């Protein structure tokens, strides 16, 4: 027995000597302490309970000392701190308290799970530094496998799962780990552990898809509603020639009777092509103001309105021929009698969706007819045909102002949409 133990000590020492960069956190305790440390299980409570997060049900004396408690416990330090000051400093302070409390970091797995759950309450779920600090709670070099058998099996599985959960939460919030994360993971779990693999996978795939979106949305949307409207309208217009016009800036003023009158913003966009289409529109046919249609920019939803007409009936359609003298430099239309066979046909064999033309788009601060009428009157300056054209408002129930929309129900149009179809079908 004694000889085996001595043997083990020698083996431990040689492993330590083999690892060049290994620095033992409490090396002043000597090799005996290290042997003890190898047998120690850091989450003693976790061994007894199957659920890692829940702890302290049946251990009353443990409960007072434990930093982590149940959801419904009022003594949860996270809940208390989130109620008092849900900031990053408070969260960091909690982590510091836990780290300083015990050298052995007893119960750190439960602490990290609890911290992960409470991160959105503190508003730190998008902060990479906080995640690194959270990983720093793990004791270093205790969970690094030291021989091939440990390396072969899942060494300290609960701790590894916990670290994977930290990385997964980072992944869910779209955060890319940095070098500090890597260094921490190597120190805690070693080079080829499961959290390290997870880190490598994230570092491989995240940059691949970082710029995959052809219509990128900035992480921080502009605060100003006019700027936000400008950005959204430019996005949906899909035309570089389109010009944004602000018809009314948001303002609040006190009227003569002493009431506060707030004017919502009205921002519109129109491209030269849309202006041409509107100029060609037959004034006897009505145009429609439709909306609100949703547009999602990451997690925020904005609404826009569209000025459009019904599709032309087939008898009114005119085949337009391009004037051959419109461009002297290159032909706008080529009708060469080439021998093209089936293999040169690159078009798709589908019927076009019949839709009316879109003349302009706008975003407004309020979804009522009076606000949108400002937009139309502003449009009239550049499009005089709107003065002669009947304009119908087809405003469907908006997201908030359900009552107002029913009041401003327009004249019964030819086809009433069912309630669900508040889409932008023509």
Does residue 171 interact with another protein by CB under 8 A? yes
Does residue 295 interact with another protein by CB under 8 A? yes
Distance of alpha carbon 359 from alpha carbon 244, whole angstroms? 13
Shortest distance, position 209 Cβ to another protein, whole Å: 3
Does residue 267 interact with another protein by CB under 8 A? no
Out of 5, 6, 48, 192, point to the residue binding another protein (CB under 8 A). 192
Using the contact rule CB under 8 A, the part of the chain among 32-40, 303-311, 329-337, 370-378 near another protein is 303-311
Out of 223, 260, 299, 388, point to the residue binding another protein (CB under 8 A). 299
Using the contact rule CB under 8 A, the part of the chain among 154-162, 181-189, 203-211, 279-287 near another protein is 203-211
Distance of alpha carbon 298 from alpha carbon 127, whole angstroms? 18
Q: Between 259 and 352, whose beta carbon lies closer to another protein?
A: 352
* Strand pairing report for 300-309 and 287-297: antiparallel
* Strand pairing report for 287-297 and 266-270: unpaired
Does residue 392 interact with another protein by CB under 8 A? no
Distance of alpha carbon 45 from alpha carbon 106, whole angstroms? 9
Q: How does DSSP classify residue 416? A: P
Scan residues 320-359 and list those touching another protein (CB under 8 A). Answer: 341-351, 353-354, 358
Using the contact rule CB under 8 A, the part of the chain among 125-133, 153-161, 171-179, 314-322 near another protein is 171-179
Q: Between 153 and 348, whose beta carbon lies closer to another protein?
A: 348
Does residue 228 interact with another protein by CB under 8 A? no
Three-state SS letters, 365-404: CCCCHHHHHHHHHHHHHHCHHHHCCCEEEEECCCCCCHHH
Shortest distance, position 409 Cβ to another protein, whole Å: 20
End-to-end C-alpha distance for the chain, whole angstroms: 86
Shortest distance, position 125 Cβ to another protein, whole Å: 12
The count of chain residues that interact with another protein, using the rule CB under 8 A, is 58
**How many Cβ atoms sit within 10 Å of the Cβ of residue 34?**
16
Out of 39, 215, 328, 330, point to the residue binding another protein (CB under 8 A). 215
Shortest distance, position 344 Cβ to another protein, whole Å: 8
Out of 209, 328, 329, 330, point to the residue binding another protein (CB under 8 A). 209
CB 134 within 8 A of CB 115: yes
Beta bridge partners of 248: 266
Phi, psi at residue 322, to the nearest 5°?
-80, 130
Q: Between 335 and 346, whose beta carbon lies closer to another protein?
A: 346
Distance of alpha carbon 280 from alpha carbon 383, whole angstroms? 11
Out of 174, 222, 324, 384, point to the residue binding another protein (CB under 8 A). 174
Out of 95, 246, 277, 297, point to the residue binding another protein (CB under 8 A). 297
Shortest distance, position 150 Cβ to another protein, whole Å: 18
Q: Between 203 and 391, whose beta carbon lies closer to another protein?
A: 203
Cα–Cα–Cα angle for 155, 156, 157, rounded to 5 degrees: 95
Shortest distance, position 200 Cβ to another protein, whole Å: 4
Long-range contacts formed by 44-53: CB under 8 A, 24+ apart? 44/106, 44/107, 45/107, 45/110, 46/107, 46/109, 46/110, 46/158, 52/109, 52/110, 52/113, 52/158, 52/161, 52/162, 53/110, 53/113, 53/114, 53/117
Using the contact rule CB under 8 A, the part of the chain among 35-43, 125-133, 137-145, 418-426 near another protein is 418-426
CB 237 within 8 A of CB 361: yes
**Residues interacting with another protein, by CB under 8 A?**
171-172, 174, 192, 197, 200-206, 208-210, 212-215, 217, 232, 235-238, 293-299, 301, 304, 306, 308, 341-351, 353-354, 358, 361, 415, 420-421, 423-426
């Amino acid at each position: 027995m004694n000889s085996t133990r001595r043997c083990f000590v020698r083996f431990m020492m040689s492993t330590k000597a083999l690892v060049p960069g290994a620095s033992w956190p409490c090396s002043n305790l000597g090799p005996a302490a290290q042997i003890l440390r190898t047998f120690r299980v850091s989450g003693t409570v976790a061994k007894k309970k199957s659920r890692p997060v829940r702890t302290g049900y049946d251990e009353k004396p443990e409960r007072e000392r434990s930093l982590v408690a149940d959801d419904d416990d009022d003594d949860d330090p996270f809940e208390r701190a989130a109620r008092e000051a849900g900031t990053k400093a408070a969260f960091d302070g909690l982590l510091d308290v836990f780290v300083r409390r015990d050298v052995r970091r007893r119960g750190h797995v439960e602490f990290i799970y609890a911290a992960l759950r409470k991160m959105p309450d503190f508003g730190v779920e998008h902060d990479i530094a906080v995640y690194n600090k959270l990983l720093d709670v793990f004791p270093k070099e205790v969970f690094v496998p030291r021989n091939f058998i440990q390396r072969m099996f899942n060494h300290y599985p609960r701790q590894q799962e916990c670290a994977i959960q930290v990385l997964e939460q980072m992944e869910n919030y779209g955060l890319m780990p940095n070098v500090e994360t890597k260094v921490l993971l190597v120190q805690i779990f070693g080079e080829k552990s499961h959290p390290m693999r997870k880190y490598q996978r994230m570092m491989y795939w995240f940059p691949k898809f970082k710029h995959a979106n052809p219509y990128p949305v900035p992480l921080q949307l502009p605060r100003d509603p006019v700027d936000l409207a400008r950005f959204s309208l430019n996005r949906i217009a899909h035309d570089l020639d389109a010009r944004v016009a602000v018809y009314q800036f948001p303002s609040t003023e006190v009227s003569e009777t002493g009431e506060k009158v707030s004017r919502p913003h009205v921002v519109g966009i129109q491209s030269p092509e849309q202006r041409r289409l509107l100029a060609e529109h037959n004034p006897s046919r009505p145009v429609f103001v439709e909306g609100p249609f949703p547009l999602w920019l990451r997690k925020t939803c904005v609404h826009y309105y569209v000025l459009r007409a019904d599709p032309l009936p087939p008898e009114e359609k005119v085949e337009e021929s391009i004037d051959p003298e419109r461009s002297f430099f290159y032909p706008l239309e080529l009708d060469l009698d080439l021998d093209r066979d089936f293999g040169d046909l690159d078009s798709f064999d589908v019927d076009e969706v019949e839709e009316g033309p879109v003349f302009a788009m706008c975003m407004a601060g309020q979804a009522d007819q009076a606000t949108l009428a400002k937009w139309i009157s502003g449009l009239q300056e550049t499009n005089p045909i709107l003065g002669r054209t009947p304009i119908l408002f087809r405003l469907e129930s908006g997201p908030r102002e359900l009552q107002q929309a029913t009041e401003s129900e327009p004249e019964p149009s030819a086809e009433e949409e069912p309630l669900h179809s508040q889409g932008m079908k023509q």
